[in-house]
Amino acid sequence: MRESINPPLTPSCNPFQKKKGWFQRKEMLGINLLRLATYIIIACALFIFSDIFIKGVPTLVKSEAPFINTEFFTESPQILTVWHDSAGNEYSMTQEKHDIWVIENPTIEVIDIHNYTASGGGILGPLLGTALLVTICMAIALFIGVSAAIYLSEYCGTGKLMSLIRLAILNLAGVPSIVYALFGWGVFCYMAPNYVTEISDRSLFAFSIGGGYISFEGWEQSLLAGGCTLAIMVLPVIITACEESLRAVPKGFREAAFALGATRWQTIRTAVLPYALPGVLTASVLGITRVAGETAPIMLTAAASDKSKLPTEVLADEGFWSFLTQSVQALPFHIYTLAKFPDSEYVKPMQYGSILVFLLLVMGFSLISMVLRSRIRKRNKW
């Protein structure tokens, strides 16, 4: 039998085997660098979250039943007082309890006393204030943002003016929060119209109506001013995300609705918005997570470091307008206040407990958004 001229192929001389040249090695080096960067980011995030979790959990839980530190969620922040007696024993309690203790123990000498702002009590006031600010902000921003996105996506054309408007919206999304804070402080705190019985000295102008005046003197630092400032700040994000969601709906849905005789608004309401709802939910969560963590706008337009009454108590005692024009405590500003004492062991439990609660809130919003998005997509498939 005649032997084959060509020798049998071996793995080393396989013509289809990919040769490792300089370009292939350079590509593998780039992939490994990207992989390393990804792992470093994940490791840093895990380290930060685990550190906050380990140091914050002891503040939220107790060793005895009911195992949850209910006082942390049912009390407002208070001044923490730390002192020693003549025997060297250390005491730590809120200032209110300290005053009672001094009255009940007049024979014990109090020495080396220190006060720490907002380091005692709990976070009920900041939690309520943050929830109210986010609620007002999203109620305004979602209505205006979704409406603007519908107009830009479904009604307006693609001319130069619309391109400039879209570019302006994208640029506004990158403006620092302190700029929005100064804008809200100047417009809503000192220029917004207000119905009053007496005109303030800082009023720009006023005119009489009924038994009072419409005076452009602003709402001062208040819940309404803070909510409007946050709404303006988050509007570019919501408009951009909602517009992309609306554009992602196939044009065939619109054409089918028009073929059946539907008007443009009926088409948008029945054939476009239901399928764009997951994207709208995503935009809402992006907006909530951003405004809930902002400090500068809240600090300049709404926040109070100390508040004797809860917002709900003001609503019950003084009415709805006083409720909207009151200053409130907020969780980001509360954390900022605690950050002034970075090296104090007496402040760290409140610091890490507040940060952990804030992270859990953000994670909870994201989880709710993911579940709702998944259910809506399963129900509305195309």
Burial degree of 174 (CB within 10 A; 0-12, 13-18, 19+): exposed
- Give the residue, 340 or 229, on which the prediction is more confident: 229
The side-by-side arrangement of strands in the sheet containing 193-196 is: 193-196, 212-216, 206-209
pTM of the model: 0.83
End-to-end alpha carbon distance in the chain = 65
Judged against a pLDDT cut of 70, whether residue 382 lies above it is answered with no
Per-residue pLDDT at 1: 47
Per-residue pLDDT at 44: 94
CA distance 155 to 171: 22
All structural domains of the chain with their residue ranges: 1-48, 77-121, 125-379
What length is written for the chain?
Answer: 382
In a 13 Å sphere around the CA of 264, the CA atoms on its Cβ side amount to 6
Residues with Cβ < 8 Å from 298, sequence gap 6 or more?
Answer: 133, 226, 230, 330, 332, 333
∠ Cα 262 268 272 (to 5°): 115
Averaged pLDDT for residues 88-97: 83
Residues with Cβ < 8 Å from 78, sequence gap 6 or more?
Answer: 94, 95, 96, 118, 120, 121
- Looking only at the bridges linking them, the beta strands covering 212-216 and 206-209 are antiparallel
Tell me the pLDDT tens digit for each residue of 327-337. Answer: 888 888 888 88
Averaged pLDDT for residues 265-277: 87
- Give the residue, 65 or 339, on which the prediction is more confident: 339
Per-residue pLDDT at 14: 58
Judged against a pLDDT cut of 90, whether residue 313 lies above it is answered with no
CA distance 257 to 271: 7
Per-residue pLDDT at 2: 53
Judged against a pLDDT cut of 90, whether residue 36 lies above it is answered with yes
Give the amino acid at 290.
Answer: R
Per-residue pLDDT at 92: 84
**Closest CA relative to residue 136, chosen from 232, 221, 227:** 227
Per-residue pLDDT at 66: 73
The side-by-side arrangement of strands in the sheet containing 90-94 is: 90-94, 77-85, 110-121
**Closest CA relative to residue 278, chosen from 360, 380, 201:** 380
Tell me the pLDDT tens digit for each residue of 113-133. Answer: 888 887 888 888 888 988 899
Give the amino acid at 205.
Answer: F
User: 125-379, what's its fold?
Assistant: MetI-like fold (1.10.3720)
Judged against a pLDDT cut of 90, whether residue 35 lies above it is answered with yes
